[in-house]
Amino acid sequence: MKLWLILIIISPIAYLIVQQSVKNKTTTPVWLCWLVIMLPSCIWTIWTYIFGQDQPLPLPVFLFPLIVCPLLYGWLVQRGKPKKSNLTSTSEKEQETVVPVAESAIESPPPRPIDRQEETTLRNCFPWNVYYLQTIDYRPQAIFCRGKLKTIPEDAYNKIKRNVEKAFGDRFFLIFQESFRGKPFFALVPNPEAKATAQEKVKNDRRFGFALTMFLITLLTTTVAGVNIIGTSSEELLSDPQLFVPGLLYSLPLLLIIGVQKFSHYFVAAYYKIRTTLPYFIPFPFLLDSFSLGTLGAIVQRRSPIPHRKALFDVAVVGSISSLLLIVPILYWGLSLSTVVPLEESSTFDIQAQDPRVSFFLSLVAKLALGSSLEAGMGIDLHPLATAGCVGLFIVAINLMPIGQLDGGHIVHAVFGQKMAIAVGQITRILALLFALIHPYFWIWTIILWLIPLIDQPALNDVTELDNRRDFCGLLALALLIVIVLPLPGAVGTWLNI
């Protein structure tokens, strides 16, 4: 019965993710895309319900929906995309990818055509010795200005941006991006909040009451999850509310880790004058007497475009690194309070007897904290504080995945450009699928990664590259992801005697 409850809880979350992924991108109904994505979990749940949890899934029953459904999902999205007009010009067939700079821009009506006088004004915004403008193309979501770059990208963008703002005010966002052929072009996207006052923008961004309510609900769900980790039954918890207090050893450090990560995003975005919402914590409904994380993390929604790739990189990397710096002492402290227990083969993924060898990073911290007591064939009975550290480490690993709008996707986009980021994201999806074939416990996260769009929203100046220092930090962040995700190599385990 619990499997059905979990499926019911996951279903609306998956629907919201699918809705965000396909809205305004395809005419295929959202419910149909959602049904295809949920089909594997439904098949596996029905099989388990009929044959019992002790009967393992046959390989065909596991593989067929896991491989076919993502392919069918992609086909449905592609089939529902609106067809281009036959009058499309040759320059429009270059398959340039311009993503709207904000969700609100996607929902805005098509820009009104500029008249001949305004078009002349727009052409005058492009000095010939900065960017030699050749053609102006009108699209439903943007006005494309194509030509030849005559100076360094950063100077060109700053000069033309000043000219456009002087001529049109805040009527347009100016995007500077490269096509898949490597040719820089400009695009003017309508600003949906051009007439909104500063007070209205702040009111829309900072919903203090909603943010506080979501935090308190998440505090409750994570505290109950912490109580369950300790081993308190639902009857004991309902009879003695004071038993909630030990659950704070799990909930408070976990929410602190998530809060540090998201508020780092918030403050770095504010430094670059990027409007965002407050962090909204996401509670996960708990099931009494069963293990639950109690939360799905938190989100910070952008309300204005990112100015350049430097800001895109800093917002992403600061959040992940700051939370990781907090996770290490929490994890070390929690592991030092944990006990070493015999590890059975069936308990590899049991939270009560965690095998630290599932992560290279976790193995090193565990060996430092437990010393010689942690030997080969031994697991760890995690203290709630250590459990919070492990969950925080898992959240950091998910965020560092180089896909779409995750922190890792932003980092790869900022370091290598959008075209390379799309390729890296697709490779990551395939590797996640292969990993799920080896460890079926990760199939749900694999599906989530396949739901996340590969294309990240571009910065306004998406052409100017990063400096060497940020390039190095980006590669270091991706190396940390590998160390966290990959299991402990056998040779290193033998050397450490674990």
Q: What per-residue confidence (pLDDT) applies to 434?
A: 80
Q: How many CB atoms lie within 10 A of CB 131?
A: 25
| Residue 200 or 447, more confident | 447
What CATH class is the domain 90-195? alpha beta
Cα 409 to Cα 282: distance, rounded to the nearest angstrom: 21
Is the CB of residue 29 less than 8 Å from the CB of residue 2? no
Helices 59-79 and 30-51 cross at an angle (nearest 10°) of 170
Residues with Cβ within 8 Å of 494's Cβ and at least 6 positions away in sequence, in order, are none
Predicted confidence band of residue 293 (pLDDT cuts 50, 70, 90) = confident
Q: What per-residue confidence (pLDDT) applies to 301?
A: 84
**Residue ranges per domain, the chain?**
2-79, 90-195, 211-496
What is the pTM assigned to this prediction?
A: 0.74
Is the CB of residue 458 less than 8 Å from the CB of residue 177? yes
- Tell me the percentage of the chain whose pLDDT exceeds 90: 27
**Tell me: the pLDDT tens digits for 23-69?**
667 788 888 888 887 887 778 778 777 777 666 667 677 667 767 77
| Residue 351 or 417, more confident | 417
Q: Which DSSP letter does residue 233 get?
A: -
Q: For the chain, give the number of residues.
A: 498
Residue whose tokens read 């290279």: 360
Q: How many CB atoms lie within 10 A of CB 109?
A: 9
Is the CB of residue 321 less than 8 Å from the CB of residue 333? no
| Residue 366 or 457, more confident | 366
Predicted confidence band of residue 85 (pLDDT cuts 50, 70, 90) = very low
Radius of gyration for the alpha carbons in the chain, expressed in angstroms and rounded: 25
Q: How many CB atoms lie within 10 A of CB 234?
A: 14
Cα-Cα-Cα-Cα torsion 437, 442, 446, 451, nearest 10 degrees, comes to 150
Residue whose tokens read 């999850």: 225
Half-sphere exposure of 75 (CA within 13 A, CB side): 7
**Tell me: the pLDDT tens digits for 137-194?**
888 778 999 999 999 999 999 999 999 999 988 888 899 998 877 789 999 988 877 6
**Tell me: the pLDDT tens digits for 339-387?**
888 876 444 445 545 788 888 999 999 999 988 888 887 888 888 899 8
Q: For 122-131, 234-243, 353-362, which range has the lowest pLDDT when averaged over its residues?
A: 234-243
